[in-house]
Structure 1
Amino acid sequence: MESKLQFSCSICLEVFVEPVSTPCGHSFCKACLQGYWNHSKKILCPMCKKSFSKKPELCVNRVLAEIAEQFQGLSVASPGGTDATTMTGIGSSPAAVARDEDGGDFAKSGDVPCDACIGRKMKAMKSCLNCPGSFCETHLRHHKKGKTLAKHKLMDPIHHLEDKLCRKHDRLLETYCRYDQVCVCRECAELTHKSHEIVPAEREYKKKTSQLGKTRSELKHLIKERAKKLEEIKQSIKEIKSNSQREIEDSWAVYAELQRLLEQSQAQVVERITMQQRQAEEQARDLATRLEHELNVLRNRATQLDGLMHTQDKVLFLQLMPTLPSLPEPADWSSVSVNTDLHLGTIRKSVSSLIEKFHENVKHLYGKELRMLQNYSSEVFMDPATAQRNLVVSDDGRQVRYEEGRKSMSHSDSPRRFSPALFVLAREGLSSGRHYWEVEVGRKKAWTLGVARSSARRKGDIRLSPEGGFWCLWLKDGEVKALASSRIPLHLPALPHKVGIFLDHEVGQVSFYDIKAQAHLYTFLDTFDESVYPIFSPCVCQEGKNLGALVITAVKHG
């Protein structure tokens, strides 16, 4: 009995469970001492009543705990008379022995372990809100036998009990303050959160889990969308590689063809020059042969005449004179010449032919480029609310024509409407991506097409240039011009009847094409920091000229 008192807690009078010591040197069960202090106004030692300014930090005395465990094991005998120490060895409790034999109530994954067990933890049966801690069946006996501990509030085991207790009142955090967004105990709710909206933690949990479920669904939707977009981007990367490789191969083919044409043209020039050289040399040699023959005849006659001139015998001179042959009719060589500039224009003609073939290749390339651009066709409709009062937009928004003397429409002073410039914008602005549309201009004598930024001026004098927010082509006085900082004549072989317009907002590119000729007309390169709108002007109609409408047509692919 005396030995048991050495290893017993003076509060519960049982063998120590998790023994801790106060600064004054007295030892108690950890749960007993915490329970004692929780119900005391002052922090005192239960034995000597020494007071402390604050709660001392309690650490389990491992040596004393091991000795207490051994003593406890020795005090419980087995049915056959063998003590527990013999069965289990040092450091195992009788409860652990009983359960270890059948592989029983050791704490498994998901179970709440006993806070008092040393070594392998047993499964907790109850949690004490006053201690606080969770205890197995063996370590709960103090709460059943001890008068003080019997008053503690026990409940079903709770994971991480200390995190779910109010640090100030050691009570369970059963309610939730919506104002401060924290879990509080009922005492805190009545004292410091009295004017706040307090609800049961269970109700707030259900509400938050419902909100979380909604957020989770939204998050899943976002993840699905982002994953889809990521897959699209990855597919785009593959297409970029594929298209780039195809373009590289096409470029090799084009430049190989150009090189072949150059070599062929050069060979043809060399052959032509060589043939002309051979013909000219033969002609010159024939002339030289004829001239040498005539020269020899004349020289022979001159020799005969020289001999006769030196004859002193008068009779002989007179006898020989009639025998001399008459002089041949002299040929006129004054107009005869050899043309040494045989190759005049040969290279020019060859290069001109090469340029024609080059243009054919370029036309083929532009045709291919157009077919690619047509894949970016966009639905474009004109906005009557932006049209100058003399412009009539069709009901389907596809056509615009000029009407002289048209009466003012309602809202004609709207800041969106052009005045007095004869323009109309598309309904939708283009703020990103690539877009392509086609406009039938027919045989009109004047028109303007292109894009304008959303902030471009619409009232009064308008500067039709990139500086003014316009990127356009116009037809005027029989000539198509690009309206850059200065007017740039395009010198086209024929006027276009249908114009294709391509916009790449990110690149800052606006390109124009003659659809029938499959020819590139002009490209603006700039930077777009806002939305741009397709813009149209059928221009003024005077004396029955330029009557036709501008028509946005459906893009025919291929």
Structure 2
Amino acid sequence: MSANLPEEDLSCPVCCEIFQDPVLLPCSHSFCRSCLEHFWESTIFRSCPVCRRRASKKSPPSNRALKNLCEAFLLGRGQGSASGTNILCWRHGEKLKLFCLVDQEPICVVCQASKMHKGHDCSPTEEAALDCKDKMYAAMKVLQCKLEVFNKARQSSAITLEHIKNQANRVERQIKDEFLKLHQFLYEEEEHRLSALKEEEELRVAAVKNRDDDDAQRISFLTDIIRTMEQTINAEDLTLLQNFKAIIDRTCSTLQDPEGMSGSLLDESKHLGNVKYKVWEKMKAVAPYSPVILDPNTAHPCLTLSDNLTSLRYSTPNQGLPSNPERFHISAEVLGCTSFSSASHSWEIQVGDNEDWILGLASDSVKRDQEIPARPENGFWTICLRDGQYRAMSSPPTALKVEEKLQRVSVQLNCDKGEVIFSNPSRQEIIYTFKHVFTEKLLPYFYTQSKHPLQILSKPVLVST
């Protein structure tokens, strides 16, 4: 029905084009919202552009009925274009020979001269089509690259999800194994202590019973003497006198009075005193303390870490690890899980037969996706064994004089003094000392390309009261 309406009835009195978002004033005149707002910006009072009647200060309401009619009219025009007249301007019926670069739409020569496109830059449709194709190809290439990035991100997410599941299963299994060892230790310790208690109970009971048996024999002996004396007292005088000496001699051989048995009771304090602490002391043999724990989320895929995260060795790359930002991606490196920013800390590493290693400390912000020298200017304070020679990775590297092949290396960090000290614990000799003012958190650092492991040694736990 709207397609049969005159175009003038659907045109804005200001721009003379089909209404765009029409609004209705109290005087019943309608205008494009943008045309009306533009008109009011150039006037002191809000009034109708046609009849000059004052309008409300409130935003005028949308003329939904007129908007629907305009949309239906434009849709009818579009359907007419689809039938074969799409090369003609739906407003003026002229051929669409130009492309407005401002409004990004094809127009006719009449549109170019109209108020809507007057002063706009335009170009022939042929040239504009080539330019638009080039821009679309460029935009499509950007989108294709972005699509590839998102596809890779989804692949990475899938690998990460699988790795998290594997991590959870592995960690759960190891936790159960560790607690099973602790349970076994506690069970064996409980059995040992109960056995010791039972053994002491049997010894104490046997001692008391032996004493009781002796007392029973003495009671029987005394009872027999008393009975004999009673019989003698009641006998004839001559019989009494004849047996008197023998009876008196028996009374002289009676035993001394029984004394209390010292130490006959169970030693409860031995079994119960500090029992948890004593068990914990013995537990240190099965529960060693490591001052440094490796962080598997930073380990290069070529490194294999032990189940307790205290040793590392070079091995075949694990292709199932996610490419997370914390991980070293280029060389076989790994960091400790605990960072240091104050106080003093130390740990020892068993290097043994490993002939290719770097040990020390690294800043938390070191680059993980580049291969850079492990030197102070890059955030590393390390020593190494490469090609049979010991070096301090200073700038430039410093050759170290080591009398004998190192089996263990001690690393000591003093944050307050700004020192990193490397020493040989077997000879109590300092190998090298770095001095630096540390401004970042530091993490224990390890590198190796040897199949022989580097082992972080456990430390004794000292308790003071």
Quickly name the TM-score band, shorter chain normalised: 0.3 to 0.5
Larger radius of gyration: 1
Q: Which has the higher contact order (CA 8 A, sep 6+)?
A: 2
Task: Provide TM-score, normalisation by structure 2.
Answer: 0.47
Task: Provide TM-score, normalisation by structure 1.
Answer: 0.40
